[in-house]
Amino acid sequence: MENMEFVDTMRTLEDIYEKYEKRVSIQISNDDYNNLTYAETRTLYAIGYPEGKYMKQISEILGIASNTATVAVNRLEKKGLVKRELGLEDKRQFLISLTEDAKKLLDQVDKIFIDEMKRLFAPLSDTEILLLKNLLLKINSKY
């Protein structure tokens, strides 16, 4: 494969992701979804449930600096979506976890993600979707 084919493929993947992210962002940035940003949503997923995470873990999962993760967590805490508790193992660190409201909100956001994925893959047959999934899994496992 020529280098330009790789570049074109990468640009296409980036374009698809940007469109997907924009469509999801528009849907979650209203009062029904606590005016979430896409970055805040990613942070909520990084924190996860049922257990929470320490700030260092959150920043590593998101691939961002700890101070950037702290800003995101602070905003989510102001929105009532995360809570901080002293860590059991290290009392100098806070365990960040989702509130019940955040868990319910993520269930709703999951539906938006799924609906947008269905829209994204609508031009593909079930066989093509399965093939794409297997190709992506293969790439991911070898990278």
> How buried is 118 (Cβ within 10 angstroms: 0-12 exposed, 13-18 middle, 19+ buried)?
exposed
The lowest-confidence range among 61-65, 80-84, 86-90, 138-142 is: 86-90
What's the pLDDT tens digit per position in 120-139? 999 999 999 999 999 999 99
What's the pLDDT tens digit per position in 6-55? 999 999 999 999 999 999 999 999 888 889 998 999 999 999 976 889 99
Distance (Å) of CA 71 to CA 40, 75, 102, 126: 10, 6, 17, 41
The predicted pLDDT at position 105 comes to 93
Would the pLDDT of 2 be above 90?
Answer: no
CATH number at residue 19: 1.10.10.10
Q: How many structural domains comprise the chain? A: 1
User: Could you tell me how far CA 92 lies from the centroid of its own chain?
Assistant: 27
Work out the average pLDDT over 76-101. 88
Which residues constitute the domain of residue 78?
3-142
Token look-up 């955040």 returns 102
Q: How many Cβ atoms sit within 10 Å of the Cβ of residue 95?
A: 19
Share of the chain above pLDDT 70, in %: 98
Position with higher pLDDT, 60 vs 51: 60
**pLDDT averaged over every residue in the chain:** 92
The predicted pLDDT at position 88 comes to 72
